[in-house]
Every structure is written in C-alpha cells, then in structure tokens.
Chains A and B, each alone.
Chain A
Amino acid sequence: MKPYLKQSAIWGFVVLELIFFSVAGEFLSLSDKAFMDLDNMLLLFKQSAPIGIIALGMTVVMINGNIDLSVGAIFALCAIIMLDSMKWPIFAGLGDWVILVGWLLALATGMLLGLINGLIVWKTGVDAFIVTLGSMLGYRGLVFMYNGENPTSNLNWTMVDIAEADILGIETPTIVFVICTILVWLLMTRTVHGRNAYAIGDNREAAVNAGIRVGPHMVWNFVLIGFLAALSAVVFYSASGSVNPNDGTLYELWVITAVVLGGTKLTGGSGSVIATFGGVIAIQLLRKGLGHIGADTAMVNLVIGLILIAVLFLDRQLNRKGKEELRT
C-alpha cells in the first residue's frame, strides 16, 4: 500500500477531492446537478488544458534541473502573433489557410523564445531562474510594445469551429492536452533525450563525465516548453479570439504549482509527466469543487495554497530517507 501511495499520492488526492465535493455538494450546492456529472467533468478537462499543456513542458524543464518563469509571457506573445498575423496584408488571399499560417507562426515564436532562454542558460551559465525571470519581464515588455494596453482581437469563425469541435463530446483542448501528455510521457520515459534529461537533473557532473551533451539537452527542453506554451495559446485563443496584454500573468506560478503538486522536485532529477497531469486535474477540481459548494475566488486561492503545502509535507513524510535525516 505504502509504495503505491508514494508513487501516486496525487491520484489519491484527486479521488479524495471527488468524494468530498460530491458529498459536500449534496448539502451545500445551489444547483441540482451532481458534481461528478459527465458534462461537468468534460468541462473540467477542457478548462485544465491551457495550464496543463504548459505544465507538461515545465515538468520536463524541472526534471532537467531548470525552471522557466517566462511561460506566461510567451503564452501572451504567441497569442498576439497568432491573432494579429492572420490580418497581415501579405497573407491576404489565403482564405482560411491563414489560420494554419497563424498557428505555425505562433508555434515558431514560442520555440524561438524558448530557444533564446535555453541558449542564454547554456552559454552564460547563469541560473535558469534568473535568466527566465529576466525573459519573463522582457517578453511581457514585447507584449505591451506590440499593441500598448489594447487587446488584440481577431474572431475567425472557422477557427472557432475547429477549436470547439468535439469527438464524442471530447473537445479539441482536451484532446490536445491528452495527446501531449502521452507524447511527453513517452519522450521522458522511453527516449534517450528523456533519460539524459533525468541524469542531468540528478547529477550534472556525472552526466558530463558520461559524455552527455548537457547544454543541447537543456536547450531542447526550453524549446519544448516554448512550443507547448505557444500550443496552449493556440488552443485557447483560437476559441476566444481576443487577447489582453495582461493575459497569462501568473501562469508560471500556477503551472509550477501543478507540477510540484504532482511530486516533481524543484532540484531536478525526479518527477513524472503523468503525476503532473494529476496535479493539473487536482487544482482544477479544487477550483470547480469549491465553486460548486459556493466558495469565492479568494477562498479558492487560500485553500489551494494551504493544500499545496500540506500535500508536499505529506510527500516528504512518505518519502523520507529512512529515519536517518538530520533534524534541522
């Protein structure tokens, strides 16, 4: 039981949330609908997608021993590029193909911004926390330079249709999120790149001594998270069609919260993509659940904060190395 609990503490937590909100909902909820209603759950997955897709990338970067604080800004900038580029005169006459161009430009922008982060981290040796703190401010600056305080809008109904299409009731954002989870999970568990990323995060020196090219692996992971931040923007703004320059602010913290809740270590070398998926779901459940029983947003934030600390404390208790640890 205990080793199972250790590996999947987050799923236990998800189940607990489901039970709690289902039961509490019976007494406290103003609506007649059950909490675990199918539509409600499908909506939950869809709403998790924007943060979730980025969190997959953050898991990879954190396993690798780095962190990326600029994802919120990349998210916003890519959204602007996507919506605005579709109005550029050079693309006039492409018809609905302009949607594809917008998407590809947005994804390329995300990868480019990630590449810049990665190259700076690699070539300067400055800590990723500092580098991406800088690029977070810098990229956000670009967002405001683009269109000032004004929103950038472009509502294209074909695009909205694609973004809100569904297969058996499962909508595009959910499908993208799940497929990405599977692909990133395969990347991290089964490929050379994934294995080396774990090794670098766990013991960088040993990785260097084993002839692993540490720098390129790190850069690729920054490119990956840039790509995923852009993909998240593509999925979300294809439906909404309008981006404010402040969109995506604090996303980095929500993303990190989800990843850490899933058990990935800030120090690198350890973590799981599937557990991050669980972390994302757990946070969204908490938000929806608290809303369901009538708590307001301020309350939700307070509770999530407390639970984050509680879950990590529990994780520490379960995973303590014997009883050998020093009392501090």
Chain B
Amino acid sequence: MTDIPALRLQDIVKTFPGVRALDGVSFQVMPGEVHALLGENGAGKSTLMKVLGGIHQPDEGKIFIAEQPAVMKSPLDAKSKGVVFIHQELSLADELLAAENIYLGELPRKSFGRVDWKTLYEKSDAILARLKCSFDSRKLVGDLSIANKQMVEIARALTVDAKAVIFDEPTASLTDAEKVVLFDVINDLRSDGVGVVYISHRMDEIFTISDKISVLRDGSYRGSLVTVDTDEDEVTKLMIGRSLDSENPIVPAKKGPIALEVQGLSCGDLFQNVSFKVHEGEVVGFYGLVGAGRTEIAETLFGLRAPSAGKILLEGKEVKIASPIEAIAHGISLVPEDRKGQGLVLGMNCKDNMTLPQISDLTAGPFVSDGAEVAIFDQYRDRLQIKTPGWRQKVGNLSGGNQQKIVIGKWLSMAPKVLIVDEPTRGIDVGSKAEIHNLIRDLASQGYAVIVISSEMPEVLRVSDRVVAMFHGEIIREFTVDEVNEDNLVQAISGIRTTKVA
C-alpha cells in the first residue's frame, strides 16, 4: 500500500445563510481503508458529501484525489474523477434492465447513437461477477430484491476506476443476512485498494466493517479513532458531546389482563396461522427479516389489510376490523414504519399533525377549535418532551426523534389500548434512540399493550418483555425475556425451529 491518501479533504468551509454547515473540516481516506464517518443528523455529514460530490461548491478548502487537487463540478464529474457514491435511497429505474441501470447515462454506443447491447451486457456481467452476484445483467431491476438492487447500485459505481467509494447509510433497508453480503463486497473493495467511506448511524456495523472512525459534530471535525482501539462509549461521547442517556433497565412489566389476542390469523401469502397474545403493561417485540410478515400483521390489525382467516380478540371479545377508522375506534393505534410517508403530513404544523385523527371531536360550532387543539398539543409536548419552538412549527422541520414523538403523541391522545410501533427508531440518531426506547418502556408501565416491530436486534432485546420471532410469514418461536439471546434469535428468524424449553 502507498502512503498517498486516495481522497483528502482539507479545511472545507461551507456556509449557508445563517448556518456554518462545515467549519474547516479535514478528512482523508487511504487506499484499502474503510473509514467510517459518524455524526448526528445535522452534524454536517450530508453537506460534506454534497461538497465532495460537486452538488455544493466549498467556500474554502480543497479536495485532493491521490494528492492531485480536484474541483468537483457535479456528481457525474466526481464519478469521472474516481469518487463514487452509493446512496441510502436507491435511485434506480425499475423499468430498465440491470445492465441499463449500471451504465445509465453512459450506455456504450455504436454508430447513429445505437446502443451497443453486446458490450453493455458483457461489461455489466463482468461487474456483477466481481460483486459475486447471482443474477445476470438482463434482469429487470424491478424484479430484483432490495439487496440485489443495492448490488446494482454498487455495480453502477464500479463502471469507472473508483479511487474512493462512499456508502451513505447503505444498510437502511437491508436485513442482517443481506448486510453480510454487503460487507463482503466492501471487504473486496478494500483488498482491491479502494478507499471506502462508510456513513452510518449503526454502531454495530461500524465496528464490524471499519478500520478508522471519524466524527463530525456541529459542522466541525471532532477527531478520528482507530476502530480496534476504541469502543462505542468513546465514539458516542465524541458524537453527541456527552455520555448517552442511560437506558432504563427493563422492569418486568406488571402484566395486566390480555388486551389483544390473535388466533390463527392469515393473510394470503403474507403470513399464515399467526397466534399471539399481548397483555396490558407489556411490550412484545416482533423480530424477523424484512418480508417475514411483521409489518403486514400490524397493517392487518390496523384494518389496512383484510385477513383471509383467523380471529382478532380485544379484551376477550372478537372484533372485525375493516378499516383504520374501525381500528382506531377499537383502541388500536399504529405508528407506521415510514414516518414521513405514512405517519405525518409534512406540510402541516405540529399541532395539526397531533390532532389529525380527532379534529372532528374538537369543534366549536362549525369550526375547529384552536384552543382545544393547542391544549392537547401542549399536554403531549410536555408528557413526551417534544422539542419544538411551538405548535406553529412545520413538522417537516423537526428532527426524526421529535417527529416520531409527534406521531406517538397523536395516538396517545386518542387513548389507545394497543399501540403498535413499527421500526420505532428508523432514521433517528443515537442520542434520541435511547429516549424513544425509554418512552416505549414508560408506556408499557402505564398500562398500554405495546407491540414493537424492529429489524434491529439490540432494540428488540432492549425494549421487549417477550420476543416473537418470525420467518416467512410464520411465528417460529416466542421467547420470554429470560430465554432470549442473540444466538437463538438469529437461529429462529432464519427458520430453525427449536422445541420450546418448558
């Protein structure tokens, strides 16, 4: 290996009106190194990446590629200079073939602008083979799994002689099994001498894959650590400038009566013969791979899907739930997995979002009563400690953690019996995660029956009194908090049935 950094940023300053987004950030990645870049939301990671990708021009500072000064004019320009990005959100055209996506914008051509299909397929297949992909480049991208789509996205990055590859939260939509494949690819890049920048919120991943860790906070560089010489606490302190809020220890819940019971519930191919109970004052965690049917169960309980068989019992009485309206009337609430897409009306303010399901009950004469609404908002802002300048604030301007609290507050104000929380901390930074976890435990101790669906094992283990492991639409096993550990949980969600210990 050489001593010349694959990529070096020097004293980058970028200001926006009113904000110094980057304040003299320096950062470098060596060839054959995986360098994790960490920071809370708003720390400047994305701005830095946009400067690197040519979307923003830095006010001050320089970029060097293999110690040659470089000016990035656009993402395409950056790519031609060997700096490529793998984004969190896939930007693929589903209606095109894998090969067309890989060479999108730079399809090999013959005379008269005709596409050189032969070359295209050959080159694409070669890249996919390098990534050890099992599908060929003539496959329609829309037919691929999320993990394979991500491979296409990575393949797209490798059409040039990449000096540095930047992964921006690449595992956000991947399951644990799929992550392993991704990490193999990153390891291959490393041994090929490519410099890898790895941006993620997830500590476990960073410690698995990275060689070095650099931390940004409030737009400035807070230091680098060698991964093997540090631990999560040290990194976290560097990131949030203080020690993490301690997680409340799990106080085994005082189980009340059964709030929700599901018997033999099925929904087509999505899940079959699912039975479980949730008591008042209890958190039941649902863990499994993406596509195991967890979210679909939640959607069925909330009336968004029609079950094909089985019964739902609330407090011992069978109920039919045909729509969210009926679910809400029965006291079932859903905090959906896609907060911005399914939970919030981003153009509306905090108060309007909070009272959305119940404004028809908050009227004075023909009009909605502002006073009644603000009273509800104030109550839940205090109870959930939502940080916002006031109820007029557009909900889109809040941090992920506070947005999630608005959604949770929305449902608490409806006095639910059963609260289903799907991926409670997706896209929420580490500082706020603990807060949400503590909140979920608090809710259970206040007597709510809570179902938590999560793809993050530490989260499930942290908040649940019982864990339900799902695989291919079936409940494989149910664990009590004493039985469960990472090993038997991984086994269960991979479909390995173990006889339940009596």
Q: Using a CB–CB distance below 8 Å, which chain A residues touch chain B?
A: 186, 190-192, 195-196, 198-199, 202-203, 205-213, 269-270, 322-323, 326-327
* B352 lies within 8 A of chain A by Cβ: yes
CA distance A206 to B357 in the complex (A): 10
Please tell me if the beta carbons of B324 and A210 are within 8 angstroms of each other in the complex: yes
Contact of B368 among A192, A208, A269 (CB under 8 A): A192
Please tell me if the beta carbons of B324 and A190 are within 8 angstroms of each other in the complex: no
Contacts A192-B359, A210-B324 hold; do A205 and B55 have CB atoms under 8 A apart?
no
- Enumerate chain A residues within 8 angstroms of B360, measured Cβ to Cβ: 192
- Enumerate chain B residues within 8 angstroms of A196, measured Cβ to Cβ: 359
* B5 lies within 8 A of chain A by Cβ: no
Please tell me if the beta carbons of A191 and B368 are within 8 angstroms of each other in the complex: yes
Please tell me if the beta carbons of A199 and B356 are within 8 angstroms of each other in the complex: yes
Of the A-B pairs whose beta carbons lie under 8 Å apart in the complex, a sample of 19, sorted by A's number, is: A190-B366, A190-B367, A191-B363, A192-B359, A195-B359, A196-B359, A198-B347, A198-B348, A202-B348, A203-B341, A203-B344, A207-B345, A209-B342, A211-B328, A213-B325, A323-B16, A323-B56, A326-B55, A327-B74
- Enumerate chain A residues within 8 angstroms of B342, measured Cβ to Cβ: 203, 205-206, 209
> Closest Cβ of chain B: how far from A186's Cβ, in Å?
7
Please tell me if the beta carbons of B341 and A208 are within 8 angstroms of each other in the complex: no
Counted as pairs of residues, one from A and one from B, with CB atoms less than 8 Å apart, the total is 74
Please tell me if the beta carbons of B357 and A211 are within 8 angstroms of each other in the complex: yes
* B410 lies within 8 A of chain A by Cβ: yes
CA distance A199 to B328 in the complex (A): 18
Question: Nearest chain-A residue to B356 (Cβ)?
Answer: A210
Nearest first, the 8 closest Cβ-Cβ pairs linking A and B are A190-B367, A210-B357, A210-B356, A211-B325, A211-B328, A202-B347, A202-B345, A203-B345
Interface SS of chain B: mixed
Please tell me if the beta carbons of A195 and B334 are within 8 angstroms of each other in the complex: no
- Using a Cβ–Cβ cut-off of 8 Å, how many residues does chain B contribute to the interface with A? 31
> Closest Cβ of chain A: how far from B420's Cβ, in Å?
11
* 15 further contact pairs, Cβ within 8 A, besides A203-B342, A327-B74: A186-B367, A190-B366, A190-B367, A191-B366, A192-B359, A195-B352, A195-B368, A202-B347, A206-B356, A207-B356, A209-B324, A209-B336, A213-B325, A270-B347, A327-B55
- Enumerate chain A residues within 8 angstroms of B345, measured Cβ to Cβ: 198-199, 202-203, 206-207, 269
Question: Nearest chain-A residue to B363 (Cβ)?
Answer: A192
- Enumerate chain B residues within 8 angstroms of A190, measured Cβ to Cβ: 366-368
> Closest Cβ of chain B: how far from A187's Cβ, in Å?
9
CA distance A212 to B325 in the complex (A): 7
CA distance A202 to B348 in the complex (A): 8
Q: Give residues of chain B (316-340) contacting chain A, Cβ–Cβ below 8 Å.
A: 323-325, 327-328, 334, 336
> Closest Cβ of chain B: how far from A3's Cβ, in Å?
12
Question: Nearest chain-A residue to B396 (Cβ)?
Answer: A321
CA distance A198 to B16 in the complex (A): 31
Q: Using a CB–CB distance below 8 Å, which chain B residues touch chain A?
A: 16, 55-56, 74, 302, 304, 323-325, 327-328, 334, 336, 341-348, 352, 356-357, 359-360, 363, 366-368, 410
- Enumerate chain A residues within 8 angstroms of B16, measured Cβ to Cβ: 322-323
Please tell me if the beta carbons of A209 and B343 are within 8 angstroms of each other in the complex: yes
> Closest Cβ of chain A: how far from B53's Cβ, in Å?
11
CA distance A242 to B468 in the complex (A): 73
Please tell me if the beta carbons of A206 and B344 are within 8 angstroms of each other in the complex: yes
CA distance A213 to B327 in the complex (A): 13
> Closest Cβ of chain B: how far from A218's Cβ, in Å?
16
CA distance A190 to B369 in the complex (A): 8
CA distance A269 to B346 in the complex (A): 10
> Closest Cβ of chain B: how far from A207's Cβ, in Å?
7
Question: Nearest chain-B residue to A268 (Cβ)?
Answer: B347
- Enumerate chain A residues within 8 angstroms of B304, measured Cβ to Cβ: 208-209
Candidate in A186, A190, A326 with the most chain B CB atoms within 10 angstroms: A190
> Closest Cβ of chain A: how far from B71's Cβ, in Å?
16
- Enumerate chain B residues within 8 angstroms of A191, measured Cβ to Cβ: 363, 366-368
- Enumerate chain B residues within 8 angstroms of A199, measured Cβ to Cβ: 345, 348, 352, 356
> Closest Cβ of chain B: how far from A264's Cβ, in Å?
12
- Enumerate chain B residues within 8 angstroms of A207, measured Cβ to Cβ: 345, 356
Contact of B343 among A198, A206, A323 (CB under 8 A): A206
> Closest Cβ of chain A: how far from B460's Cβ, in Å?
23
Question: Nearest chain-A residue to B46 (Cβ)?
Answer: A324
Question: Nearest chain-B residue to A196 (Cβ)?
Answer: B359
CA distance A199 to B368 in the complex (A): 15
- Enumerate chain A residues within 8 angstroms of B347, measured Cβ to Cβ: 198, 202-203, 269-270
CA distance A74 to B328 in the complex (A): 39
CA distance A202 to B356 in the complex (A): 13
Please tell me if the beta carbons of A202 and B367 are within 8 angstroms of each other in the complex: no
CA distance A191 to B363 in the complex (A): 8
CA distance A221 to B331 in the complex (A): 30
Please tell me if the beta carbons of B356 and A212 are within 8 angstroms of each other in the complex: yes
- Enumerate chain B residues within 8 angstroms of A203, measured Cβ to Cβ: 341-342, 344-347
> Closest Cβ of chain B: how far from A4's Cβ, in Å?
16
CA distance A208 to B334 in the complex (A): 12
CA distance A208 to B347 in the complex (A): 16
- Enumerate chain A residues within 8 angstroms of B356, measured Cβ to Cβ: 199, 206-207, 210, 212
CA distance A210 to B327 in the complex (A): 10
Contact of B410 among A202, A210, A269 (CB under 8 A): A210
CA distance A326 to B54 in the complex (A): 11
CA distance A186 to B345 in the complex (A): 21
CA distance A212 to B324 in the complex (A): 8
> Closest Cβ of chain B: how far from A234's Cβ, in Å?
25
- Enumerate chain A residues within 8 angstroms of B344, measured Cβ to Cβ: 203, 206
- Enumerate chain B residues within 8 angstroms of A269, measured Cβ to Cβ: 345, 347
CA distance A265 to B418 in the complex (A): 37
Please tell me if the beta carbons of A211 and B55 are within 8 angstroms of each other in the complex: no
CA distance A256 to B348 in the complex (A): 24
Question: Nearest chain-A residue to B344 (Cβ)?
Answer: A206
CA distance A219 to B128 in the complex (A): 50
CA distance A186 to B366 in the complex (A): 10
CA distance A212 to B352 in the complex (A): 13
- Enumerate chain A residues within 8 angstroms of B323, measured Cβ to Cβ: 211
- Enumerate chain A residues within 8 angstroms of B324, measured Cβ to Cβ: 208-211
CA distance A206 to B342 in the complex (A): 4
